């Protein structure tokens, strides 16, 4: 075959096995490691350097990727996209937090870094194809769920445009995660037992509140019981909470279970509900902005995920003249959250996505989520 493929090597088991599978299929395979976050020297919101955060394990990941490529006998390139990541992904992340929303930067990381800046670098290196270790599939230009439903990552690819998926390969989309691990063990790969990465894309696992204080100044305010309107405590900044959160809410002296059900950014109020009744988390429609479709299809009926690990919910789509979409799910859904992505599916095909702008019930916007 001898067609050249540049694969994103993250230092993890998925990209390692994906590289092996490509080589087995006869491609000329080369790896490319992306450095997208400067753990030693970053800028705060004023542009000043901050040195008080924990060191990101990117260098360990690079060394793991280098060792993997040595085992597989393929070259490894390295490229810095620190500026692109800051300008196009992390700045958006901070602005969304300031609005009191719960952003998911991973989708924009794929849109602007992995399938744009990375792809351009792959082409510069002479590759016909780029590849990643995502659990996803492509068929006739359509983005399909992975065979392993538990690991499927099409949710994170739902802001891509159709053109960005051209000349792209997903080698492990037809494999179960357990089989990927088995292949890595059989090959004696150094990352065979390495734990999957979690946390913010390319930034990793951190104490979120301490980390984000490097960039956003805490703005304490009242915690209010949504039912009684009584002030019951103080929060340390709306950016530190998300809808449905039950732990570390910051109120004491209450035996009843409680959960975050809303935020009022204008008044800097965090709303909390008590008891097992989750009625304050239930909505039946939401409004989406920043719409992106991968396909030409514009269905009226499909299913949607409101978070990565959420179940598919049957929805009806209303296409508004201003380009936004109203998503109706009359049976109700819990914890639909402004700032998160709503991703559309039709069977196994991922159609696209939009950002949740507002959340509604009985044709009225939820006042405690304004």
Q: What is the pLDDT of residues 316-354, one digit of tens each?
A: 999 999 999 999 999 899 999 999 999 999 999 999 999
* 3-state secondary structure at position 40: coil
pTM to 2 decimal places:
0.91
Query: Do 147 and 48 fall into the same domain?
Result: yes
**Rounded Cα distance, 250 and 168, in Å:** 46
Catalytic-residue membership of 109: yes
Query: Do 199 and 179 fall into the same domain?
Result: yes
Query: Do 43 and 161 fall into the same domain?
Result: yes
Spans of the chain below 50 pLDDT: 41-55
Query: Do 85 and 21 fall into the same domain?
Result: yes
Query: Do 183 and 262 fall into the same domain?
Result: no
pLDDT, tens only, 29-56 = 999 999 988 765 444 443 444 444 444 5
Q: What confidence score (pLDDT) does residue 33 get? A: 98
Select which of 201, 261, 342, 350 is catalytic: 201
Q: What confidence score (pLDDT) does residue 56 get? A: 52
Query: Do 12 and 128 fall into the same domain?
Result: yes
Q: What confidence score (pLDDT) does residue 48 get? A: 41
Select which of 109, 261, 333, 350 is catalytic: 109
Q: What confidence score (pLDDT) does residue 144 get? A: 98
Query: Do 185 and 71 fall into the same domain?
Result: yes
Query: Do 150 and 61 fall into the same domain?
Result: yes
Domain range holding 350? Answer: 280-369
Catalytic-residue membership of 286: no
For 12, list phi and psi in degrees, rounded to 5.
-110, 175
Query: Do 77 and 160 fall into the same domain?
Result: yes
* Cα–Cα nearest to 241, from 46, 364, 119, 100: 100
CATH code, domain carrying 64: 3.40.50.620
Q: What confidence score (pLDDT) does residue 198 get? A: 65
Query: Do 19 and 154 fall into the same domain?
Result: yes
Q: What confidence score (pLDDT) does residue 197 get? A: 76
Q: What confidence score (pLDDT) does residue 201 get? A: 60
Q: What confidence score (pLDDT) does residue 47 get? A: 41
With b meaning 16 or more CB within 10 Å and e meaning fewer, what string describes 190-227? bbbebeeeeebbbbbeeeeeebbbebbeeeebbbbbbe
For residue 213, tell me if it sits in a domain: no
Sheet holding 231-235, edge to edge: 231-235, 221-225, 269-274, 258-264
Query: Do 149 and 298 fall into the same domain?
Result: no
Q: What confidence score (pLDDT) does residue 232 get? A: 94
């Amino acid at each position: 075959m001898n067609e050249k493929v540049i694969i994103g090597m993250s230092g993890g088991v998925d990209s390692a096995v994906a590289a092996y599978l490509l080589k087995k299929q006869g491609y000329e395979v080369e790896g490319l490691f992306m450095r997208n976050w400067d753990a030693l020297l970053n800028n705060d919101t004023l542009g000043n350097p901050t040195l008080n955060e924990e060191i990101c394990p990117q260098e360990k990941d690079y060394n793991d990727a280098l060792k993997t490529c040595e085992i597989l006998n393929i070259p490894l390139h390295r490229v810095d996209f620190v500026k692109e990541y800051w300008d196009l992904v992390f700045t958006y992340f901070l602005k969304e937090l300031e609005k009191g929303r719960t952003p998911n930067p991973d989708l924009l990381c794929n849109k602007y870094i992995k399938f744009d800046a990375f792809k351009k670098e792959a082409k510069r290196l002479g590759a016909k194809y780029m590849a990643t270790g995502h659990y996803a599939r492509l068929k006739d230009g359509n983005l399909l769920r992975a065979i392993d439903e538990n690991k499927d990552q099409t949710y994170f690819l739902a802001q891509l445009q159709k053109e960005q998926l051209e000349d792209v390969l997903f080698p492990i989309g037809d494999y179960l995660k357990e089989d990927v691990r088995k292949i890595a063990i059989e090959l004696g790969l150094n990352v065979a037992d390495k734990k999957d990465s979690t946390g913010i894309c390319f930034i990793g696992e951190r104490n979120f509140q301490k980390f984000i204080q490097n960039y956003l100044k805490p703005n304490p305010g009242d915690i209010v019981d949504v039912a009684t309107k009584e002030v019951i405590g103080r929060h340390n900044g709306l950016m530190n909470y998300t809808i449905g959160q039950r732990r570390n809410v910051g109120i004491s002296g209450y035996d009843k279970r409680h959960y975050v059900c809303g935020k009022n950014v204008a008044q800097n109020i965090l709303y909390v509900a008590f008891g097992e009744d989750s009625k304050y988390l239930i909505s039946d429609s939401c409004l989406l902005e920043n719409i992106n479709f991968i396909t030409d299809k514009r269905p009226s009926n499909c299913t949607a995920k409101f978070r990565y690990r959420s179940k598919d919910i049957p929805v009806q789509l209303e296409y508004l003249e201003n380009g936004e979409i109203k998503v109706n799910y009359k049976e109700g859904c819990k914890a639909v959250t402004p700032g998160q992505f709503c991703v559309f599916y039709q069977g196994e095909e991922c159609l696209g996505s939009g950002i949740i702008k507002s959340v509604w019930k009985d044709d009225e916007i939820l006042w405690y989520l304004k």
